[in-house]
Structure 1
Amino acid sequence: MTLYNFAKKMFCLQFRLMGWKVRGVENMPASGPVILAINHVSIWDPVVAGCSVPRKVSFMAKEELFSLPLLGRLFTKLGAFPVKRGHGDMNAIRQSLAILKEGGVLGLFPEGTRSKSGEIQKGLPGMVLLMEKSQASVVPVKVRGTKRMFTKGWGKITVAIGKPLTAQMLKAPEGVENRREWIANRIMQAMTELPEAK
């Protein structure tokens, strides 16, 4: 058993004990390149989202996390890789495309940072670039109840997984000035509209 599968098994057990609910697993493509576009309110979001889908997810995470001696090595062993926030990180883009071109699943937080209010924020257009370059589908995922999860999250952790969106489905109308921004907004809207898992 790989470290990823072992960690996933252990966390799934813990989350089930906490009343974790997942809706829409059937929407996750069984094969082929997929970008999971996930809202972000807590450091636990990648763990909860990764446990909620049947395939291995490689997460893009902020570079600062990898500077922590033990955690940085652990994140790398679990398939995560760093991104420099605030500007185009070509290494992160290349690594993302390599994962997708191999038919893998890439986990992204298109808001760019955690939402302090808990409400879903505007999405960054970088995920649209990756979708177009790789022809991957984007699966919107809405996570709730992960903020202060181990003190206030019992019975409140929910994950809703939406239907895949493709570049063909998300064509911007003529006259739109920033096409990728328009598409990113549509993806975030689809995420916002996902019904809560019950």
Structure 2
Amino acid sequence: MITSEAEARAWIAARPEGDCVALERLERLAALLAEENLRQNLVSAASLPQTWQRHFADSAQLLAHVPTAQAGPWLDLGTGAGFPGLVIAVLQPEREIVMVESRARRVEWLSRAAETLGLAKARVIGKRLELVESFPAAAISARAFAPLDRLLELSARFSTSDTIWLLPKGRSARDEVNRLTGWNHLFHVEQSLTDAEAGIVVGTLPGSNKKARTR
């Protein structure tokens, strides 16, 4: 379990993606986040002293569930302050990262942060998810975006049978999976590395983006 800023930094640095360039970009992202948080409430002010643990490592841990060889765009829904979207873009700058965010001020922040950090393959779609044109995503993430059943209704159209879903759900993770009906899914819950009481819904939707027939 990652319980401090020092442990979070060390854990990220030990990952294959945690090279010097990535670490420098994350340092810059932390500074940009703190600066912007004075203008708009991106994250809780109380969480800023634990940015590496609460936001960076919390986002980066999702990479452990994505095969290294898997190619294709990563779709992050309701990116907000940039988590996990911007962190994934920093750690995998060669991958196309698509961040969907409907709030104009946050769209501006995400675009500016990506440009400042030199993340050429990260892009922001400033629309409600319902208005975003469908495309096949290799991975789909969402942090506190919507309840699991509603999330699938909105975003299953971006999924193929190979798409990996990565959904930090806090304490509700196991309950949401257990209550999910009407979907042909292979979801399970992984323990969060940054919160002993939190879980991450991980898995796939076999049969592409269609609901399973109920019997």
Indicate the TM-score class for this superposition, using the shorter chain for normalisation. 0.3 to 0.5
The two structures have a TM-score, normalised by structure 1, of 0.44
